[in-house]
Amino acid sequence: GESEGCGLSTMHDQDDLLMEVRHLSARLGTLTQEVGTIEARQVKLDRRLVEFGGLVQGLQEEQYTQSCHMKQSQKTLACGAQRALDTAVAVQQQMEQEDAWETCMQRMGGPAPPDNSLVQELEKRLEARMEEHTRWLEELQSDLAAMMLEGPQAARSAVLARGSDPVGADGSAVDPLRERLTALERAQRTVAVSARRALQTAIIVHQQQRSQEQDDGPEKDDDKRKALEDLVKPVAELEQQCSHRFVAQDERMDKILQMVDTLADRVLMQQGRALPGAAGGGE
């Protein structure tokens, strides 16, 4: 009876073990499925991470490209603004130069010429003034020569014909020749002052161009230097010519003044001799 009881308990234990084994097998299968599901989800997550990494890299590249474009645009804008500022400064300097030339030409008594013929127009005006003064001197010389040829009597008649007071307050004869000489001196001074102002204006323009050359750099120095030399050289030559011609005209004017003084002395001497004779005849 005991052996039968032991056999039944052993069979009962075996059944329990089998049930436990089956339960564990079922549990192991469930865990295996869960592990497979987790691995599949991990693979999906890895793929999503790779895709996200690609998107992030694309965004970074796009941001870098936009940043480069923005920097280039800022540089282009800065260069454009600098060019516009340089152009505005150049235009302002050009306008100041044109105003200076116009003022100089207005002081000389005429409209301002165009930009490309300022020096030529100035030279023409000064040449015209020089020719006019030379013509006045020649007329004075011819008048004096004619009066000297006619003799003291004709000069005395001319003095008496001008009025009853042929002698000025300083004892010198008052005649139109001295007035013409005075007007000629004033005109020569005007021409000299105009030429000097034109030269000063050209020097100011030269200084402004030199300062602008230092700002522009060494590339355009040669061309601008040649242009400035072409601008200043005619003015300097013109001033030198004016100086020589002024000296020549001063010498001629001194000779004319000497002739006028000699003629006036002769007229006064002749008049002094004639007055006692006229007084004796009246008595």
Distance CA 230, CA 94 (A): 17
Nearest to 125 by CA among 142, 110, 147: 110
Does 282 score more than 70 pLDDT?
A: no
Task: Write out pLDDT tens, residues 198-235.
Answer: 666 667 766 666 666 666 555 555 665 665 566 556 66
The token pair at 134 is: 């030379």
Q: Which two tokens stand for residue 186?
A: 């004033």
Give the CA dihedral 92, 93, 95, 97, nearest 10 degrees: 170
Most confident of 56-65, 145-154, 186-195: 56-65
Task: Check whether 8 has a pLDDT greater than 50.
Answer: yes
Higher pLDDT among residues 44 and 283, named by residue: 44
In angstroms, how far is the first alpha carbon of the chain from the final one? Answer: 216
pLDDT value, residue 37: 92
pLDDT, one tens digit per residue, over 52-70 is: 888 889 899 998 998 898 8
C-alpha span between 217 and 56 (Å, rounded): 47
**Are the beta carbons of 202 and 230 closer than 8 angstroms?**
no
More confident residue, 25 or 6: 25
**Assessment of whether the complete model's pTM goes beyond 0.85:** no
Predicted confidence (pLDDT) at residue 166 exceeds the cutoff of 50: no
According to the model, what pLDDT value does residue 43 have? 92
Name 115's Cβ contacts closer than 8 Å, sequence gap at least 6.
Answer: 98
Bigger pLDDT: 268 or 30? 30
3-state secondary structure of 167: strand
Instruction: Summarize the confidence of residues 236-263 as an average pLDDT.
Output: 72
- Per-residue model confidence as pLDDT tens digits over 115-135: 445 666 766 777 777 777 777
